[in-house]
């Protein structure tokens, strides 16, 4: 395990941490049955019936798992 040779100052620590920035997820816009739906790319989505009950999960139009 790496161990620092010297103590890192507060200013240096905070300057290093300030460089990290969160990025918003990229969403894919699709139209399903007349509604615009935004989803994450390369993720399985839950298919629901008309009452909102989850039926199964699909990816690229194929059924991949039961819910």
Mean pLDDT of 34-57: 90
Are the beta carbons of 44 and 35 closer than 8 angstroms?
A: no
Q: Is the whole model's pTM more than 0.75, yes or no?
A: no
Please, which pLDDT band fits residue 31 given cuts at 50, 70 and 90? confident
3-state secondary structure the chain: CCCCCCCCCHHHHHHHHHCCCCCCCCCEEEEECCEEEEECCCCCEEEECCCCCEEEEEECCEEEEEC
Strand partners, 57: 46, 65
* CA 4 – CA 23 distance, rounded (Å): 30
Tell me: the pLDDT tens digits for 51-66?
Answer: 989 999 999 889 999 9
């Amino acid at each position: 395990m790496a161990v620092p040779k010297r103590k890192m100052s507060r200013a240096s620590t905070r300057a290093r941490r300030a460089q990290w920035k969160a990025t918003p997820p990229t969403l894919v816009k699709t139209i399903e049955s007349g509604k615009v739906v935004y989803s994450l790319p390369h993720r399985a989505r839950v298919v629901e019936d008309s009452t909102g009950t989850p039926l199964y999960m699909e990816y690229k139009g194929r059924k991949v798992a039961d819910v």
